Amino acid sequence: MAVLEVFTKLADGVVFDLLGLTPGQKLTESLHFFIEDVSKIFVLLTLIIFLIGFFRSLVSPERARKLIGGQSPWISYPLAVALGAVTPFCSCSSVPLFIGFLEAGIPLGVTMAFLITSPMINEVAVLVLASTMGWTIAGLYVVTGLTVGLLGGLAMAALKQERHVEEYVWKIRMGQAALPAVDASLRGRLQFAGAQVREIVGRIWPYVLGGVGVGALLHGYAPQSFFIEYAGPDNPFAPPLAVLIGIPLYSNATGVIPVAEALLAKGVPIGTALALMMSVAAISLPEMIILRKVIKPPLIALFIAWLFVAFVAVGYLFNGLFA
């Protein structure tokens, strides 16, 4: 997008004019990548989170729960994954919403569809992904993420996993799971949007910097032959390897985008890069610790197993489609 060229020019000015580095060198390429992506991602984060925070203030969590509750499965599952795609998954919101969904009479399968979708997809990551790697890849990421969440929720429902939800979840009152209401005035909504920027950017900035830093090192220093050998199209084990590498890493979808961008530039197939992105965003020890507050180990194990299988399948599917 032409409007994003300002960040390329900013990096050019800092790297070539201010620092006087020579084009084509490894340090120059890494530093240019870092400055361009950091400036671009943080500006986009601030603008997008503010706008979406404003519109999110129009729909309260209570309204969302009432919208999903009592619907037929043909409606409730698509609504759950759609809500997951626009709701940030974090310790302050995931557990109350999970409890609130169950207490509102929403089936466990529908609730799990929300939980699976939420960490993988958010509107900020999608727009940053589109600005970095194009709308085609962003669209594929969204469609596959929604599909994984939808099918995962249906699978959980079919396996009847309610017995693996902690007992207190079924006993807690609805009021305890409610989130504070937003001031309905224009000023209140703008303040809410600003608070969303501070809260979300304040929470994820280390992961953005870390992700861009890793991407910059890969972009400038990692030899292309290494990635072609171990993660290239000729390695049939590349997708599961990418998922296994991504599971212990802790970042959000936005923070891992620069890493995927650098991998694609080194010749890693799109399916393998998407599998890595999804596994980093959706499966990590902190998220599992949070979920352990409300669900028992067997359901957590099933949750992880489904995501592993689904992400590997996504990797193979898109590697085959874009071979």
pLDDT at 3: 65
Q: At what angle do helices 270-282 and 238-246 cross, to 10 degrees?
A: 20
Dist. CA 227–CA 267, nearest whole Å: 7
Return the amino acid letter for 315: G
pLDDT at 43: 84
**How many Cβ atoms from other residues are within 10 Å of residue 290's Cβ?**
17
DSSP 8-state secondary structure symbol assigned to residue 175: G
Q: At what angle do helices 94-103 and 61-68 cross, to 10 degrees?
A: 40
Tens of pLDDT along the chain (323 residues) come to 556 688 889 989 998 888 888 888 888 888 988 888 888 878 877 887 787 678 767 765 566 666 665 667 788 888 888 877 776 554 345 555 666 676 666 788 988 898 888 777 766 677 777 877 788 888 888 888 899 999 999 999 999 888 888 777 776 544 444 445 567 788 888 888 888 788 777 877 887 788 788 778 877 776 667 666 777 777 889 899 988 888 766 666 667 778 888 888 888 888 888 888 888 777 766 667 667 777 889 998 998 899 899 999 989 988 888 87
**pTM for this entry:** 0.69
> Phi, psi (5° rounding) for residue 104?
-80, 0
- CB under 8 Å to 168, separation ≥6 — which residues? none
List the structure tokens of 27: 């340090």
Domain count, the chain: 1
**How many Cβ atoms from other residues are within 10 Å of residue 184's Cβ?**
10
pLDDT at 173: 45
What are the residue ranges of helices labelled H in 57-173?
A: 61-68, 73-85, 94-103, 108-120, 123-133, 135-158, 167-171
Question: What is the domain range of residue 280?
Answer: 2-321
Dist. CA 291–CA 274, nearest whole Å: 24
Q: The dihedral of CA 52, 58, 59, 62: what is its sign? A: positive
pLDDT at 138: 84
